């Protein structure tokens, strides 16, 4: 029986991509004026124009595929993004999952802040006793679930039945593919930036994934990313 | 602390709907010939024609909203249907979940059939000892997870953190809205019918949901449902 | 041979619908707190909250189907809305189109305003000579195209070939179905409101369609529509 | 004033792409067994398995962008494909269109075949007189429309108004982006193959585009394309 591991991080790796700021400009030029942007300054102006005036389709002709390792509760939120996202996730019907479970790291804010409101969920650090209690509670529950899973599998029970006891804190993996526009929409909802036009309050773990994707996005599309930030972090 | 309950069924309730076979015919008539179907025989012929020749869009102008109660592992599969489906699910970030957990019923086939293949996952009944072992394993894991969840909430831990220990066998609720076309696509993948043009092998619990929706669909769209069955149970 | 007709208006008729503000609240309550809104004041507060904080999914569980009569150039723009919209349009491959063509009405602003910019396309009235020239030019082109279409059909040429000469100003019909969320997205892009958070500059003819749909929407969902207007006319 | 040109072909050029059969296998392996396909034979087997059993999501992690030149009546059909397709088309509001118009080539079948049925639209060649009549009718209509368009532009009429007289036979351009799955869906509906599981009857001009894309697809994804053909030319 594999040994249980605990983990607090999420991992997002860029697997493949195609497209860049120049490609955005070429797509936009099909729609409007003939000549492609001749230089970076002109391209930057065009990209700003497109983002500012919400011409979104030129940002759809690109692709980034990420390999994501995160707990199921992150994937549950992620899969609610239906448009411009494609997913291939590890199936608990077809393979035995691995015993890797999420526990909050020491820096994870654990408790609702004073004056907590559902519309603006903000959290504060816990003290050592809180962390101690959580670590104990999580590990106990995870170990119990994993043991039940293994007992059932040892009895010959189908994977699809036995998995019912596995917590949403277990890690899973997926390929997730987006285009720049659908990625920007994700970032607008799954990152917290006080100066955004619409301030979002995502759960920390999906925000962590979003930040890793945003770093890759900013590297691949520096002009688009700059315009995204300039105009309120909204998808065009 | 609420008492833990165990449950083996799934519940799908039709909440609202609009559209019927006559509406399908009217939508089709906008596309082609002017006069609407004069009687049921003519409507039946038109609906058969549309399904047989895969004219799908006339089946998109209707709506069925279902209230679904099922374990999270069912919702995980369901939410992979992105097109023509809308969801509002109970949020474990915003409210404390209830201690209702899925255990397989006595009639649930538990073990891979001899000669089991992933492409055609078929199962056989377990014996009494199997059921005994599963019930014990499931309940043990669920009780442990629920206790850890409660302990953390009692410490003031945020809902979004504490829920990590809850198993995918816990029940959740959602509103799920589809149109006749997207519902037929769901039915084609989530019901097992040996005589279908493409035989699917869904997990029993999501198939149970699908069957309940199919009953409502057959009642609301008898001509469309008959054509769906006649032509291989494929969405047009 | 049918007589050519000229027309300047567009017509949008509500064909069927289901859902209302109370239904939005019920869908939201599945996600969060249990009890449905007890009265209108509470419902109004909940709907405002959802729109303000961009909780969009509760607005997807409803349907409005419109019968639209408009020139093809309007449908060309409309069909670029891919998400949450379903269309069944008259097919020029399957039926002979009718000789009804769009000409601008007297109130239609015809000429780019001084200082015209593509990002803010604004127009001014033409004078009588302009209108005279346009009416003559349009009618001449339409009559010529229609005559060619008829000649080819009389020769036995297939509809799908003969239609190539028909201008995008010819009227067509479609069923168009949306939910409140996708309709609000359409309205945000296809109506011009100086005080909107993002000011759009739609072509007048599709805006006319949008305004007719907005009137129906405001009647069916008064609370949602009020919140939509209050918070910048953006889809949640 | 630019000289009118007539054209009978459509042009589809692959602009960019990412992904291949090996990538399909990698995406599938995330879902199921760990090891990637070691060699081509194993990859071919896996790809066949995925297509045969309709596991479609591994085919979504790729991208092909095409530059398309075709008449508007082709784009009108194309844009009805909403899922997994992204478009940036030349805008007649923002730029003056060019006077290039479609006329049927000599090989184009022009007339409904004897016993023509809408469900199986088949055509036969026209004779020389037919071609003569069509060429004359088309060119006459196109010239008249173009002249009216030019007259109105010369009067200072807005592009968006003047374009109303332009026929759907005028050429336009677009970037169209798809993934392998959405492309296969397009091919299943927009190519005519008598041995397909569902025989489609597309208009010749969009089929011509589809064939050009299929050639690129077969070159980039030889195993996927072979499986697509083997299993009835249906998207998995």
Q: How confident is the model at residue B1, as a pLDDT?
A: 59
Residue A40, chain D, CB below 8 Å: the answer is no
Q: Is the pLDDT confidence value at B35 over 60? A: no
Q: Which of D49, D119, D197 sits opposite B53 (nearest CB)?
A: D119
Q: What does the alpha-carbon distance between residue C232 and residue A165 come to, in Å, rounded to a whole number?
A: 45
Residue B42's pLDDT band, with cuts at 50, 70 and 90, is confident
Q: Which stretch of B218-222, C191-195, D110-114 has the lowest confidence by average pLDDT? A: D110-114
Asked if the Cβ–Cβ distance from B133 to A147 is below 8 Å, we say: no
Beta bridge partners of D170: D101
Q: How confident is the model at residue B34, as a pLDDT?
A: 53
Burial class (CB in 10 A: 0-12, 13-18, 19+), B47: buried
Beta bridge partners of A232: none
Q: Which secondary-structure segment (H or E) carries A51?
A: helix A40-52
Q: How confident is the model at residue B204, as a pLDDT?
A: 97
Q: How confident is the model at residue D119, as a pLDDT?
A: 78
- A226 with A217: CB under 8 angstroms? no
Nearest Cα neighbor of C54 from A181, D65, D38, A196 is A196
Q: Is the pLDDT confidence value at C138 over 70? A: yes
Q: Is the pLDDT confidence value at C176 over 70? A: yes
Q: What does the alpha-carbon distance between residue A100 and residue A183 come to, in Å, rounded to a whole number?
A: 27
For a pLDDT cut of 90, what percent of chain A falls above it? 87
Chain centroid, CA D195 distance in Å: 20
Q: Which residue has the tokens 């009857």?
A: D201
Chain D residue numbers with beta carbons less than 8 Å from the beta carbon of B77 are none
- A78 with A178: CB under 8 angstroms? no
D1-35 burial, b at 16+ Cβ within 10 Å, e below that, comes to eeeeeebeebebebbbbbbbbebbbbbbbbbbeee
Check residue B14 and give left, alpha or beta (phi > 0: left; psi -120 to 50: alpha).
beta
Q: How confident is the model at residue A235, as a pLDDT?
A: 96
Asked if the Cβ–Cβ distance from A32 to C197 is below 8 Å, we say: no
Q: What does the alpha-carbon distance between residue A72 and residue A87 come to, in Å, rounded to a whole number?
A: 14
Q: Is the pLDDT confidence value at A212 over 90? A: yes
Residue A38's pLDDT band, with cuts at 50, 70 and 90, is low
- Classify residue C173 by its DSSP letter: E
Residues 6+ apart with CB under 8 A from B219: none
Q: What does the alpha-carbon distance between residue A61 and residue D16 come to, in Å, rounded to a whole number?
A: 9
Residue D76, chain C, CB below 8 Å: the answer is yes
Name the neighbours of B, counting chains with at least 3 Cβ pairs within 8 A: A, C, D
Burial class (CB in 10 A: 0-12, 13-18, 19+), C95: middle
Dmax (CA) for chain C in angstroms is 68
Q: Which of B27, B65, B94 sits opposite C61 (nearest CB)?
A: B65
Q: What would the mean pLDDT of A162-182 be, rounded to a whole number?
A: 98
In a mutational test of the C interface, the residue from D121, D138, D143, D145 whose CB has the highest number of chain C CBs within 10 Å is: D145
Q: What does the alpha-carbon distance between residue B168 and residue B79 come to, in Å, rounded to a whole number?
A: 14
Q: What would the mean pLDDT of A29-38 be, rounded to a whole number?
A: 68
> Does this complex have an ipTM over 0.90?
yes
Q: Give the 3-state secondary structure of residue B120.
A: strand
Q: Is the pLDDT confidence value at A6 over 90? A: yes
Which of the pair, C200 or A36, is modelled with greater confidence?
Answer: C200
Q: Which secondary-structure segment (H or E) carries C146?
A: helix C128-154
In a mutational test of the B interface, the residue from D77, D82, D119, D122 whose CB has the highest number of chain B CBs within 10 Å is: D119
For a pLDDT cut of 70, what percent of chain C falls above it? 97
Chain A residue numbers with beta carbons less than 8 Å from the beta carbon of D31 are 88-91, 94
Q: How confident is the model at residue A41, as a pLDDT?
A: 85
- Correct CATH for B5-108+169-230 of 3.30.1360.170, 2.40.30.170, 3.30.1330.20, 3.90.400.10: 3.30.1360.170
> Tell me: the pLDDT tens digits for C49-101?
999 999 999 999 999 999 999 999 999 999 999 999 999 999 999 899 999 99
Asked if the Cβ–Cβ distance from B118 to D32 is below 8 Å, we say: yes
Q: What would the mean pLDDT of C127-139 be, rounded to a whole number?
A: 93
Burial class (CB in 10 A: 0-12, 13-18, 19+), A236: buried
Residues 6+ apart with CB under 8 A from B22: B36, B37, B43
Chain C residue numbers with beta carbons less than 8 Å from the beta carbon of B31 are 88-91, 94
In a mutational test of the D interface, the residue from A20, A61, A179 whose CB has the highest number of chain D CBs within 10 Å is: A61
- D202 with D186: CB under 8 angstroms? no
> Tell me: the pLDDT tens digits for C23-32?
999 999 987 7
Which of the pair, B35 or B153, is modelled with greater confidence?
Answer: B153
Q: What does the alpha-carbon distance between residue D116 and residue D123 come to, in Å, rounded to a whole number?
A: 8
Q: Is the pLDDT confidence value at C35 over 70? A: no
- C101 with C37: CB under 8 angstroms? no
- Classify residue C183 by its DSSP letter: H
Q: Which stretch of A130-134, C231-235, D65-69 has the lowest confidence by average pLDDT? A: A130-134
Q: E strands of chain B, at which residues?
A: 5-7, 11-18, 63-71, 85-89, 100-102, 111-112, 123-124, 171-178
- A188 with A168: CB under 8 angstroms? no
Q: Which stretch of A18-32, B76-90, B176-190, C136-150 has the lowest confidence by average pLDDT? A: A18-32
Give pLDDT tens digits along chain D (236 positions): 579 999 999 999 999 999 999 999 999 998 775 555 667 888 999 999 999 999 999 999 999 999 999 999 999 999 999 999 999 999 999 899 999 999 999 999 999 998 888 878 889 988 999 899 999 999 999 999 999 999 999 999 999 999 999 999 999 999 999 999 999 999 999 999 999 999 999 999 999 999 999 999 999 999 999 999 999 999 99
Residue D51, chain B, CB below 8 Å: the answer is no
Q: Is the pLDDT confidence value at A1 over 70? A: no
Q: Give the 3-state secondary structure of residue B166.
A: coil
Q: What does the alpha-carbon distance between residue C150 and residue C159 come to, in Å, rounded to a whole number?
A: 10
Q: What does the alpha-carbon distance between residue A21 and residue A61 come to, in Å, rounded to a whole number?
A: 11
Q: What does the alpha-carbon distance between residue C41 and residue C36 come to, in Å, rounded to a whole number?
A: 12
Q: What would the mean pLDDT of B49-67 be, rounded to a whole number?
A: 96
Asked if the Cβ–Cβ distance from A157 to B110 is below 8 Å, we say: yes
Cβ contacts below 8 Å, chain A against chain B, sum to 155
Q: How confident is the model at residue D34, as a pLDDT?
A: 53
Q: Is the pLDDT confidence value at B21 over 90? A: yes
Q: What does the alpha-carbon distance between residue B64 and residue B216 come to, in Å, rounded to a whole number?
A: 9
Residue B118, chain D, CB below 8 Å: the answer is yes
- C208 with C76: CB under 8 angstroms? no
Which of the pair, A122 or B228, is modelled with greater confidence?
Answer: B228
Q: How confident is the model at residue C42, as a pLDDT?
A: 87
């Amino acid at each position: 029986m594999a040994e249980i591991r605990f983990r607090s991080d999420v991992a997002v790796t860029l697997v493949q991509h195609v497209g860049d700021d120049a490609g955005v400009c070429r797509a936009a030029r099909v729609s409007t004026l003939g000549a492609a942007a001749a230089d970076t300054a002109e391209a930057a102006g065009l990209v700003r124009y497109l983002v500012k005036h919400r011409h979104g389709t030129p940002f759809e002709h690109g692709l980034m595929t990420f390999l994501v390792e995160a707990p199921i509760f992150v994937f549950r939120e992620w899969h609610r993004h239906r448009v411009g996202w494609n997913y291939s996730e590890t199936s608990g019907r077809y393979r035995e999952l691995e015993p890797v479970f999420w526990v909050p790291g020491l820096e994870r804010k654990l408790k609702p802040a004073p004056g907590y409101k559902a519309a603006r969920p903000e959290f504060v650090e816990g003290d050592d006793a809180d962390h101690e209690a959580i670590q104990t509670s999580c590990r106990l529950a995870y170990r119990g679930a994993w043991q039940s899973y293994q007992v059932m599998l040892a009895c010959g029970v189908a994977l699809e039945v036995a998995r019912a006891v596995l917590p949403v804190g277990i890690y899973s993996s997926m390929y997730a593919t987006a285009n720049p526009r659908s990625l920007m929409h994700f970032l607008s909802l799954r990152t917290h930036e006080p100066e955004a036009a619409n301030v979002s309050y995502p759960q920390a773990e999906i925000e962590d994934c979003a930040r890793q994707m945003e770093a890759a996005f900013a590297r691949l599309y520096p002009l688009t990313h700059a315009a995204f930030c300039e105009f309120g972090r909204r998808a065009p």
